[in-house]
Amino acid sequence: MEVLLLSGTEINVLLCGIEVLLVSETEVKMLLVSEAEVKVLLVSESEVKVLLEYEAEVKVLLVSKKDIKVLLVYEAEAKVLLVSEAEVKVLLVSEAEVKVLLVSEPEVKVLLVYEAEVKVLLVSKKDIKVLLVYEAEAKVLLVSETEVKVLLVSKKDIKVLLESETELKVLLVSEKEVKVLLVYEKEVKVLLVSEAEVKMRLVSGR
């Protein structure tokens, strides 16, 4: 049982098992995760949102106040739906990364439950922030109009991931230093920029 309590802008996550109960003021949202499919019933005022996940296809139904948007994510395909400020913004990652989409009035919150990790997607008016809680680090995904930025927050570091067509660029921004991580097929290149110093480290990816 997983319990997500929403109190203002704070999110507290308690890991207890499979089910997720989201309590936000007067809204009650429940997530049921089974082996082959995921059913999500989101109750917000007079709207009901249902997410059904099947083996090879993920269907996400986003119901906002005035419009309905559907995003389909397949095995090797990821689609990002970005809408204007007043509309709903959604980012879905392929390979069983996105599980649940919760839509509330001011922001879109996504709780992703997959095996032993908990992922929370926070969507503000101008950007999409994904909080991924796995092991001991927190990952935040920022999505702009033309690019996807992943902000990884681990302890005191802020990490930004830029995903392009053939490579992954990770920009790690700390208080006074900037770290750039380039991930290729067989190797990982880490560029550390601290004030006037530039450090490059090659890490073989296995």
Q: What is the pLDDT of residue 15?
A: 22
Both tokens assigned to 165: 């067509």
From 57, 56, 81, select the one nearest 67 (Cα to Cα).
Answer: 81
From 116, 138, 137, select the one nearest 18 (Cα to Cα).
Answer: 116
- Residue pLDDT, tens place only, 98-107: 333 333 333 3
Both tokens assigned to 135: 């092991």
For the chain, percent of residues with pLDDT exceeding 90: 0
- Residue pLDDT, tens place only, 67-98: 333 333 322 233 333 222 223 333 333 223 33
pLDDT band at 189 (very low <50, low <70, confident <90, very high): very low
- Residue pLDDT, tens place only, 5-15: 333 222 222 22
- Residue pLDDT, tens place only, 115-151: 223 333 333 333 333 333 332 233 333 333 333 333 3
pLDDT band at 17 (very low <50, low <70, confident <90, very high): very low
In order, the DSSP letters of the chain are: -EEEEEETTEEEEEE-SS-EEEEETTEEEEEEE-SS-EEEEEEETTEEEEEEE-SS-EEEEEE-SS-EEEEEEBTTB--EE---TTS--EE--TTTT----EE-SS-EEEEEEETTEEEEEEE-SS-EEEEEEETTEEEEEEE-SS-EEEEEEETTEEEEEEE-SS-EEEEEE-SSEEEEEEE-SSEEEEEEEETTEEEEEEEE--
Q: Where are the domains of the chain?
A: 2-155
Write down the pTM of the prediction. Answer: 0.15
Over residues 185-199, the mean pLDDT reads 32
What is the widest separation between alpha-carbon atoms in the chain?
Answer: 56
Both tokens assigned to 13: 């996550």
pLDDT band at 33 (very low <50, low <70, confident <90, very high): very low
